[in-house]
Amino acid sequence: MKNRSIIAFAALGLLLSATSLLLCSETDAESMVTHATSVILDRSSSGSAVKAALLEILDVSLLILPETDYAGEYRSRIEIAKKEFGDNSFFSDKGHQYLSLAYRLVTAGKKWQFPEEISGAYKEKDIMEQAKNVGQKLIDSALGELKAGRSEQSIQHLLEFVLMVVTPIPH
């Protein structure tokens, strides 16, 4: 009887610590995304600060990634993209390719498309303002999905944001 009580208390302790770790991770993920977004959307941020913030968002996607059948492949693709962006420009073709492949994993094969709201803008000022608005909407959606417990949808929005930032605007 005494052993059952010890086992029950141990199981309860593990459950409580796992729950607090999950909540802590969600809170950490939210604060990381909020911080990185503020750096990226601030026009006065240096290129190296923007690069670090983009890498931070990719780290968040790994932090909140649920265990799925494609999780290992996703991690691999994101790590390659991070290395590529860290070693080279964040406009790296190889990095972009691996981000696109990771995006297809979380969207069941859907190909990422550059937001029409941005490519349809006429003046550079309009393009930058529209990009900032679209980016903020993507981040708000990512945080909303994360709070609702839908990690995969949150990751999708985070990757859409990063892809938007690292993709030259089509003419």
Q: What does the pLDDT look like over 22-38, one tens digit per residue?
A: 434 556 989 999 999 88
pLDDT of residue 4: 45
In a domain, 171, yes or no: no
In a domain, 14, yes or no: no
- pLDDT, tens digit, 9 for 90 and up, residues 106-157: 999 999 998 888 876 566 667 788 888 999 999 999 999 999 999 999 999 9
Local confidence band at 169 (pLDDT 50, 70, 90 cut-offs): confident
In a domain, 8, yes or no: no
In a domain, 12, yes or no: no
In a domain, 5, yes or no: no
Is 80 exceeded by the pLDDT of residue 103? yes
State the residue range of the domain holding 152: 25-166
Nearest 10 degrees: CA dihedral of 89, 93, 96, 98?
-120
Quote the tokens at residue 53: 């913030």
The answer to whether the CB of 99 falls within 8 A of the CB of 162 is yes
**How far is Cα 53 from Cα 34, in angstroms, rounded to an integer?**
10
Is 90 exceeded by the pLDDT of residue 171? no
In a domain, 156, yes or no: yes
pTM of the model: 0.80
Give the count of domains, the chain.
1
The answer to whether the CB of 74 falls within 8 A of the CB of 102 is yes
